[in-house]
Structure 1
């Protein structure tokens, strides 16, 4: 390290330049040039006694890593909404604050979800391939038809920040919105959306379904759940790949039960099941829902705001 002042923050993942510059100015941070792994994070912290760490998926910290951290560590900050790459309970047991950035991703993830809805319904990947291959053939009135978004019923699983932002956008497209969650939202937050107490009750009503809940555990959407959807429904996932049984999704897409799907997340990222790439009725993106300049900067700034609060002796702004 070249800093003359003591480093107060390890940034263990590559971050945008604006975030790195602020981190170096405010915390004399050590900013990695490529994502560090968990063992390297632990080693660095023990060699330099840093009180704060900003981690990513590759540098996720499980119980054994957290147990090996020095007592100087006071906060582990995540520049994302998700924190499934670390053991939060183990950190709490050691008195280490864990934070995330729940608001930073909301608007861009909601925008991207609508992109997936529109692209899957209107066969965007097929149309784009036709144009890149030179077009050369006119289409008639019955050729290459998509399905209209306006007037469709959109089912939302998880009515938190992102789910509600998606609902607002969908209503702007004239969609009817229904949702399910562990509890009903306040009427003011529902904004006209209809609550279903269970996923199984909601699925038969959905013409488009989108997921906005954390991952982990048994897949939420498996053979039974896809079977409950209406024939011709469209499935969207910009949440977590682990929410979906991909064999069941593939079967639903190839059998004709689903009209199509828009997917941004997968079970084994970045190694996506190659079967999906061979399907015309799937619009695929490489986990990019938050990938805008503004959002990635804000994700990093939120993590730094949390670091500043904890190191100043204040409560974390976004505790997990």
Structure 2
């Protein structure tokens, strides 16, 4: 009887999907790295401590990441037997997916598992930037009667209802589309979008979306711009792009902090070219831009848009589903780097 392929499980124990993990155990011999420093992990790979493993499983985005970033230094040490890496979380800016592809490793993220959580947070940021809810909330919590009265008397001068305004989404993928659904169906916002390709007309019709091939054209007319695209190595909303946004519009980021030039954002807010901004993610996490933090028209979160028990349960499950699907069918559920492969070899 042939021996089971090896699965390297990075990080902590699973917490929720125990039945599925048992299935994984029936298909693989599971070895663990738990928590290691980068040097320890490199030495373990070099000495083949984990054996010739077939797959890597990282169930939680905040665990097993001690060896980050996953760059050529680590990837070059992977055994040739490794064919798939399934990790938690939506973003993958910490891993060189192109280098993995060159090594013959399919990388799978788990963005689909946090779609609802991120979309809900995006809606909250949209509402807050239109209505200044947190500014009002902080005035109430201050227990200062004058702050309370100042906000109560003046907030109407710079707040609007989102209904009837346009939401321009940069990157209408799974998460972006769910945000569009919520914004359009609940608040009657007009949906605009820019992406590398136009969606089929039947999908566009679900949210009455209007496609803009050129980002500049969308920025010029959108009342609120929401960034929902993966980080590709440079800021999507740099000084030039922010300067082309509609006067008095709003900018929201629920993707990756480095997608926005924060210095340019500060200038646009100070000059009142932009009315407000909402940020779940930040350029230099966990360090928040102090100028943005002091602005009452900037809504902020601590990179928690995708964080919920439901998301974490889904991260854990989807990683296992990717690995099992690849083992059984040769195809992963949510691969993100197939475009880097020679398609004829897949």
TM-score of the superposed pair, with normalisation by structure 2: 0.82
2:54 is matched with which residue?
Answer: 51
Query: Whole-Å Cα distance in 1 between the matches of residues 171 and 37 of structure 2?
Result: 31
- 8 Å contact kept, 1:82–1:214: yes
- For residue 11 of structure 1, report the CA deviation from its aligned partner: 3.3
Do the aligned partners of 2:171 and 2:228 also contact (CA within 8 Å) in 1?
A: yes
Please list the CA deviations of residues 113-153 of structure 1 after superposition, one character each: whole Å capped at 9, or x if unmatched: 11111112211221121122115356487412322211111
1:218 matches 2:234? yes
From 113, 122, 127, the equivalent of 1:104 is 113
C-alpha displacement of 1:255? 1.6
Tell me which residue corresponds to 1:251: 267
Aligned CA distance change for structure 1 residues 61 and 217 (closer, same or farther; 3 Å): closer
CA contact (8 A) 2:9 2:32 kept: yes
Gap regions ≥5 residues in structure 1: none
Assess, with a 3 A threshold, how the Cα gap between structure 1 residues 71 and 22 changes in structure 2: closer, same or farther. same
**2:269 and 2:13 mapped to 1: Cα distance?**
37
Task: State the alpha-carbon separation in 2 of the partners of residues 16 and 234 from structure 1.
Answer: 40
Instruction: Measure how far apart 1:22 and its partner are.
Output: 5.2
* Aligned counterpart, 1:84: 93
2:133 to 124, 138, 147: 124
Residue of structure 1 equivalent to 2:197: 183
What is the CA distance between 1:205 and its match in structure 2?
Answer: 0.6
State the distance in 2 between where 1:261 and 1:302 align.
32
1:80-114 Cα shifts (integer Å, max 9, x gaps): 23222222232223322322224212222111111
Does the 8 Å CA contact 2:31/2:50 hold for their aligned counterparts?
no
Q: Is the 8 A contact 2:91 2:256 kept in 1?
A: no
Residue 15 (structure 1) shift: 6.7
User: Is 2:297 the partner of 1:294?
Assistant: no
- Number of matched residues? 315
User: 1:239 aligned to 2:255?
Assistant: yes
1:74 aligns with 2:77: no
For 1:15 and 1:276, locate their aligned partners in 2 and report how far apart those are by CA, in whole Å.
Answer: 38
What SS class does the counterpart of residue 236 from structure 1 fall into? strand
1:162 pairs with 2:175 = yes
Q: C-alpha separation between the residues in 2 aligned to 1:136 and 1:310?
A: 61
Distance 1:179 1:282, change over 3 A: same
Correspondence list, 1:257-272, <5 A: 257-272=273-288
Within 2, Cα distance between the matches of 1:15 and 1:188?
42
User: Scaled by the length of structure 1, what TM-score is found?
Assistant: 0.88
Task: Return the alpha-carbon distance in structure 2 between the equivalents of residues 60 and 311 of structure 1.
Answer: 26
Equivalent runs, 1:3-22 vs 2, <5 Å:
8-14=6-12, 17-19=15-17
Q: For the structure 1 residues 209 and 217, does the alpha-carbon distance in structure 2 shift closer, same or farther, using more than 3 Å as the test? A: same
Q: Work out which of the residue numbers 126, 139, 151 in structure 1 matches 2:164.
A: 151
CA 1:225–1:314: 2 relative to 1, 3 Å: closer
Gaps of 5+ in 2: 337-346
- Checking the alignment, whether the CA contact within 8 Å between 1:38 and 1:61 is kept in structure 2 is no
